[in-house]
């Protein structure tokens, strides 16, 4: 798996395809997040969703390169971090309340 990923990163066209696919998946995630949190800032949600998707891919690559126990811990940490953002994205109202 790591060899395949390394190969895609070495080839500019494959890297561009992978990035485009990641952006599309991030957009799908953002769409779902906005349905759940309609008052959230769409630009912030789009950025967060894209980053969550990218970090998810990186987490899996890292996890398979570690021993099982450490890899499982890394995946669990990613889940905890991601769930916080998925469940409580910062809405315009929350941001405004935080500045007062």
Could you write out the DSSP letters of every residue in 21-44?
HHHHHHHHHHHHHHHH-TTS-HHH
pLDDT the model gives residue 84: 93
d(CA 57, CA 86) in angstroms, rounded, equals: 17
Structure pTM? 0.78
* DSSP for 48-85, written as a single string: HHHHHHHHHHHHHHHHHHS-HHHHHHHHHHHHHHHHHH
Structure confidence at residue 69 (pLDDT): 98
**What is the pLDDT at residue 90?**
72
Sites in the chain below the pLDDT cut of 70: 1-9, 91-100
pLDDT at 14: 82
């Amino acid at each position: 798996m790591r060899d395949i990923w390394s190969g895609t990163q070495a080839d500019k066209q494959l890297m561009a395809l992978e990035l485009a696919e990641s952006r599309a998946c991030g957009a799908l995630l953002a769409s779902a997040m906005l349905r759940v949190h309609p008052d959230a800032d769409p630009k912030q949600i789009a950025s967060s969703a894209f980053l969550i998707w990218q970090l998810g891919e990186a987490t899996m690559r890292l996890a398979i390169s570690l021993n099982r126990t450490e890899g499982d811990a890394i995946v669990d940490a990613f889940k905890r971090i991601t769930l916080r953002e998925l469940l409580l994205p910062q809405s315009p109202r929350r941001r405004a309340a935080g500045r007062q």
